[in-house]
């Protein structure tokens, strides 16, 4: 069996029944606990493959619970559930790379797909989600909900990218959900069975970036090796030094054979091109396929 811990997800009998049914359909066993403190004490990484946790509960909320579990077990796979995903929750989900954010009312078919992907990811699943199943997954993603034309266009663009293995750039302001959308692409694409590594390019200096990404000889660095056969999400590529941009541009064709590369930027690359801080080749390769966040 795969084991799933349901950390006090709502006191609604309907929600709990849906979760229990989905777990049975997937062949999972669920340990249901009464509050956040019990969830923290109950969690066992040898027994529980997944933590499903409600955001609003007492005496502590879901952010506290998952924070404590990740503090003790950084590799724990967690999903947050909320009927009202506010800015604080969305930021927490993105910054801590939670597997997903499930929005209430819980839909059984969408939850089944989410849990199936979460549990199968460790078993090397590589089949991307398509058609109605993918649409249902998008319906369950807070960043992809809404009737605006921009959301519709975003969903169409992501559908195309999910089936691809080529690098692409996600462009949008800070807090627009770029990282979560990038992880959504990974979880639903052909590299879903591999690791998903998120790396912030702004956290290290030029010399360190050569070690983490690619060196002068073209040797791929630590982060690409960690993400091999999976996805590497590079945040703030618009802040990379020119030397690293050039090396990364040269290496893109090579790395695409083993790793899906998704790049994130807060500002359009052409702005940096005009200012002389973006390399020409990097601009054309990274900007060959761009999705703009609403």
- pLDDT tens-digit readout, 165-220: 789 999 999 888 999 999 999 988 888 878 889 999 998 899 899 889 988 887 88
Q: Do 190 and 263 share a domain, yes or no?
A: yes
Domain at 216, CATH number? 3.40.50.300
Residue where a domain terminates, one of 77, 102, 123: 123
pLDDT of residue 9: 40
Domain assignment present for residue 139? The answer is no
Domain assignment present for residue 135? The answer is no
Q: Do 167 and 277 share a domain, yes or no?
A: yes
- pLDDT tens-digit readout, 44-62: 888 888 899 989 888 899 9
Residue where a domain terminates, one of 71, 102, 123: 123
Beta partners for residue 5, in sequence order: 31, 51
pLDDT of residue 171: 95
Q: Do 197 and 102 share a domain, yes or no?
A: no
Beta partners for residue 31, in sequence order: 5
* Separation of CA 294 from chain center: 18
Total domains, the chain? 2
pLDDT of residue 229: 84
Domain assignment present for residue 30? The answer is yes
The DSSP bridge pattern shows strands 2-7 and 28-32 to be: parallel
pLDDT of residue 153: 92
Q: Do 19 and 116 share a domain, yes or no?
A: yes
Residue range of the domain that includes 280: 154-292
DSSP class per residue in 197-264: EEEEGGGS-HHHHHHHTB-TT--B-HHHHHTTTSEEEEE-GGGS-HHHHHHHHHHHHHHTTT-EEEEE
Question: With a cut of 50, which residues of the chain have pLDDT below it?
Answer: 1-11, 122-128
Q: Do 159 and 286 share a domain, yes or no?
A: yes
DSSP class per residue in 119-158: HHGGGT--PPP-HHHHHHHHHT-GGG-SSSHHHHHHHHHH
Domain assignment present for residue 143? The answer is no
Domain assignment present for residue 279? The answer is yes
pLDDT of residue 154: 92
Domain at 85, CATH number? 3.40.50.2300
pLDDT of residue 130: 57
Q: Do 170 and 63 share a domain, yes or no?
A: no
Domain assignment present for residue 238? The answer is yes
Q: Do 113 and 166 share a domain, yes or no?
A: no
As separate numbers, helices (DSSP H) first and strands (DSSP E) second, the chain gives 13, 10
Residue where a domain terminates, one of 74, 105, 123: 123
DSSP designation for 107: P
Q: Do 14 and 66 share a domain, yes or no?
A: yes
Domain assignment present for residue 280? The answer is yes
Three-point CA angle 86, 87, 89, nearest 5°: 70
Domain assignment present for residue 149? The answer is no
Sorted by sequence, the CB contacts under 8 Å of residue 6 that are 6+ apart come out as 16, 19, 23, 30, 31, 32, 33, 52
């Amino acid at each position: 069996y795969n084991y799933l811990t349901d950390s006090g997800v709502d006191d609604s009998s309907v929600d709990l029944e849906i979760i229990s049914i989905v777990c049975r359909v997937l062949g999972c066993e669920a340990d249901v606990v009464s509050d956040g403190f019990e969830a923290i004490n109950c969690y066992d990484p040898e027994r529980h493959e997944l933590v499903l946790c409600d955001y609003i509960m007492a005496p502590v909320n879901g952010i506290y619970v998952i924070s404590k579990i990740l503090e003790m077990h950084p590799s724990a796979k967690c999903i947050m559930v909320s009927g009202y995903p506010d800015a604080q929750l969305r930021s927490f989900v993105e910054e801590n790379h939670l597997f997903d954010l499930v929005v209430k009312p819980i839909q059984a078919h969408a939850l089944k797909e989410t849990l199936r992907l979460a549990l199968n990811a460790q078993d090397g699943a590589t089949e991307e989600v398509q058609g109605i199943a993918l649409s249902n997954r998008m319906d369950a993603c807070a960043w992809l909900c809404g009737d605006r034309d921009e959301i519709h266009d975003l969903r169409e663009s992501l559908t195309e990218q999910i089936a691809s293995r080529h690098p692409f750039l996600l462009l949008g302001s800070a807090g627009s959900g770029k990282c979560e959308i990038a992880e959504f692409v990974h979880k639903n694409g052909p590299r879903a069975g591999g690791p998903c590594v998120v790396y912030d390019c702004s956290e290290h200096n030029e010399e360190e970036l050569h070690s983490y990404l690619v060196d002068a000889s073209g040797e791929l660095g630590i982060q690409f090796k960690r993400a091999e056969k999976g996805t590497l999400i590079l945040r703030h590529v618009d802040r990379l030094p020119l030397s690293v941009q050039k090396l990364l541009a040269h290496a893109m064709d090579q790395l695409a054979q083993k790793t899906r590369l998704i790049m994130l930027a807060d500002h359009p690359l052409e702005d940096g091109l005009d200012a002389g801080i973006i390399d020409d080749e990097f601009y054309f390769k990274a900007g060959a396929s761009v999705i703009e966040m609403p």
